[in-house]
Chains A and B, each alone.
Chain A
């Protein structure tokens, strides 16, 4: 047992060295390994300490007894806090965040929230319905360009353009959905990948409409209207949401509405039908689920959420260009869904923040930050394949086998 532990220690130390030394050692021009070695030394020290503690406790049984991981204990403690407090606390935190943060942090926060809403939208397609979509960012582009073009050409306001963007997004969702209805797995992934690229290339090359790679700029910000009684008359005054905190609150509201919407879908009859399709399409059909219609609906609704996020994105920057919608973005959104725990709403929210904020935090590492990103993803998937906060369904599948009765059997919506 000691030998095993020593072997483990050596392997851990080796991998840490591979990860840490290049990431921390390379500065912009030179290689300065001393800092990296110091940090590596600290980590190895912790590992050795851990090893000594285990050795002192002795015996495999003692180690096993202590094995209940801290994550489990923390989760148990969290689960004892009433849900209302958890949600209220998070809401409060989200609400006061702009008051405590500087502009850069608020901007990062906004980006995180945009990706959270994209993740939630993609979760419908990938997580619930089980259709692997690698071109999801195309719908985000549809939303962004719909708002941009409507606003620049016809002066349509953000709020009026939003439903049109949603409808157009849904139509696009059906356009990609329809030909892929009979496809599964790898083939579907490739077709959606192609669709994502087609949208980007069209935006890039249709100069007369989209201004090509130069992009569109000068869109109005979202507005709030408030009544005014000045001059004795009554009129609506437009207030442009220009400041970052204002935009932050807007996207926060969008995310909250998205969460509510996705939650309701998840627990609905439609949600159940989607899960059945994901689990076994033939069996779902035989149970009377109209699979064609439900798959199209999943595409359309997923696209609708992306489209809203896209419109917000274009309005926030007041600028958009095709290079915002690269394949890499689709990948990141997919990573958010998988990392968070497929089908789990809280997981996706957390993963959205982790995946967008982590590269920002590691900006000091310059080019190596993507390496850190990759390393974190890899470690996560090895250590917790079910995601950060797994959906209860998946957690049960991968861990517990103890049966627990289904108390809430009545009064559920079917």
Chain B
């Protein structure tokens, strides 16, 4: 794999435990700035844990995480968020009893630049016009797809340099998945680096440049996404071919 741009995120030998369960057994990866990278793997491989470890919700026991060269493994989640890392958690964790608008506002919680926040709000509304229609509606009353859009929109409201997405396709109709992935490309074109965790390996590899394959807490394969799509092992295990 040729790394041309300098990396925005670098993990070196990261170990994470849930009590005595060794969930991440030495993860190392490097994501170039401006890239879309994806992490694929089976259930329980440690994909979500990887994201939660990066954002500080489930802190790493050992190893180093660097964001733009700066170690962030000891920071609390809100501090990581303050550095410019936004995570859309798995299962559309929106705030159900806040309106769509308030949910988006929460995404900009750390920002003081009101004018730019308003601009980003317009941008999010242009990416997901349905959110504008639903602005006054409580998050919990939105449909599954709308909630996923809201969750992504909320993450964007912090104007992140790096967007971590946990299973954006989970439980959505194929057509909607396609729409969301198209929007991800749009977001990426605006300069946001995206690190994507997916079970829908085909979709994920199609829009990514770099792909990582994870098995039981370890990264077993790293390659260009297009190469992974052709890889016999990957085809057999994750693409169902």
Q: Does B140 contact A (CB under 8 A)?
A: yes
B95 to chain A, nearest CB (A): 4
The reply to whether A288 and B93 form a contact with Cβ atoms under 8 Å apart is no
- Taking a contact as CB atoms under 8 Å apart, the answer to whether A279 and B96 are in contact is yes
- The interface stretch among A118-126, A224-232, A268-276, A366-374 is A268-276
Give every chain A residue within 8 A of B96 (Cβ-Cβ): 279-280, 397
* B158 and A403 contact, CB distance less than 8 A: no
Confirm or deny: B238 has a beta carbon within 8 angstroms of a beta carbon on chain A: no
A282 partner, pick from B93, B106, B118, B158, beta carbons under 8 A: B93
Q: Which residues of A contact B93 (CB under 8 A)?
A: 280, 282-283
CB within 8 Å for A279 and B97 given contacts A396-B138, A414-B114: yes
> Do residues B89 and A403 form an inter-chain contact, with CB atoms below 8 A?
no
CB–CB A275/B137 < 8 A: no
Minimal Cβ-Cβ distance residue in A for B135? A406
Within 8 A of B (CB), among A231-271: 269
Give the complex CA separation of A403 and B136 in angstroms. Answer: 6
The answer to whether A286 and B55 touch across the interface, beta carbons within 8 angstroms, is yes
| Chain B residue contacts of A287, Cβ below 8 A | 81, 106-107, 109-110, 154, 158
List, in ascending order, chain A residues with CB within 8 A of B126's CB.
none
Asked if A272 and B102 sit within 8 Å, CB to CB, the answer is yes
Q: Residue among A280, A289, A291, A409 with the most chain B CB within 10 A?
A: A280
Q: At the interface, is chain A mostly helix, strand, loop or mixed? A: helix
Within 8 A of B (CB), among A344-398: 393-394, 396-397
* Complex-state Cα separation, A409 to B108, whole angstroms: 14
Check A286–B87 contact: CB distance below 8 A.
yes
* Docked-complex contact B101 and A403, CB < 8 angstroms: no
Residue among A283, A285, A396 with the most chain B CB within 10 A?
A283
Q: Among the interface residues A286, A396, A405, which one has the most CB atoms of the partner chain B within 10 A? A: A286
User: Residues of B contacting A396 with CB < 8 Å?
Assistant: 138
Minimal beta-carbon separation of A117 from chain B (angstroms): 25
B231: CB under 8 A from chain A?
A: no
Is the CB of B217 closer than 8 A to any CB of chain A?
no
Q: With A275-B97, A275-B98 in contact, is A285–B136 under 8 Å at CB?
A: no
Using A286-B89, A406-B99 as known contacts, say yes or no to A276 and B106 having CB atoms under 8 A apart: yes
A273 contact set on B, CB distance < 8 A? 109
Minimum CB–CB distance from A181 to chain B (whole Å) comes to 12
Chain B contact-residue range equals 35 or more
> Is A89 among interface residues, defined by CB-CB distance under 8 A?
no
Binary interface profile of A, 281-308, with partner B (CB < 8 Å = 1, else 0)? 0111111111110000000000000000
Chain A residues with CB below 8 A from B81, complex form: 285-288
> Is A414 a contact of B108 with CB atoms below 8 Å?
yes
Contact with A along B141-161 (1 / 0, CB 8 A): 100000000000011001000
Name the A residues within 8 Å of B99 (CB-CB).
406
Give the interface centre of B118, B137, B141 by most chain A CB atoms within 10 Å. Answer: B137
By a CB distance below 8 angstroms, the chain B residues around A74 are none
Chain B contacts of A397 at CB under 8 A? Answer: 96-97, 138, 140-141
- B186 at the A interface (CB under 8 A): no
A393, B138: Cβ atoms closer than 8 Å: yes
With both beta carbons as reference points, the residue of chain A lying nearest to B132 in the complex is identified as A405
A401 and B98 in contact, given A282-B89, A286-B55, A286-B86 (Cβ under 8 angstroms) = no
Q: Does A83 have its Cβ within 8 Å of any Cβ on chain B?
A: no
Residues of A within 8 A of B57 (CB): 282, 285-286
- Please name the residue on chain A nearest to B100 by beta carbon: A406
Given contacts A272-B105, A290-B76, 7 further A-B contacts (CB under 8 A): A276-B98, A280-B94, A285-B76, A288-B81, A288-B109, A406-B136, A409-B135
7 contacts between A and B (CB under 8 A): A269-B109, A278-B97, A284-B95, A287-B107, A287-B158, A290-B76, A397-B141
The interface of chain A, by Cβ under 8 A from chain B, is 269, 272-273, 275-276, 278-280, 282-292, 393-394, 396-397, 401, 403-406, 409-410, 414
